[in-house]
Amino acid sequence: MLLLTSVTALTLSAATFGLVTLDAAQEPDVASNVVTQGELPVAQVPLLRELPLRDLRKLNFPRPTTRPTPGR
């Protein structure tokens, strides 16, 4: 186990400092979309309306964006 941890640490350190390049094609695609529309009430989200509650395992809502206040 110590050998595996050491090899992992060396690989990540080498990648961080640019000594080796990791194949970016192996990284999974990120499924995120930026929506520029206004806020939509939860009751109007079609997928949530069609999804039975027993099939819902986890639901994450994005944090509201905070705008900087003047004088800070």
Share of the chain above pLDDT 70, in %: 67
Question: Computed from CA positions of residues 4, 7, 11, 17, in that sequence, does the dihedral angle turn out positive or negative?
Answer: positive
pTM for this predicted structure: 0.33
The answer on pLDDT for 31 being more than 70 is no
Q: Residue type at 72?
A: R
Q: What's the rounded Cα separation, in Å, for the pair 9 and 3? A: 10
Residue 43 has what DSSP assignment?
Answer: G
Model pLDDT for residues 34-68, shown as the tens digit of each residue? 666 677 777 888 888 888 888 888 877 777 666 65
Using CA atoms, how far residue 11 sits from 40, 53, 57, in Å, is 44, 43, 35
Nearest in space to 47 (alpha carbons), one of 59, 65, 30:
59
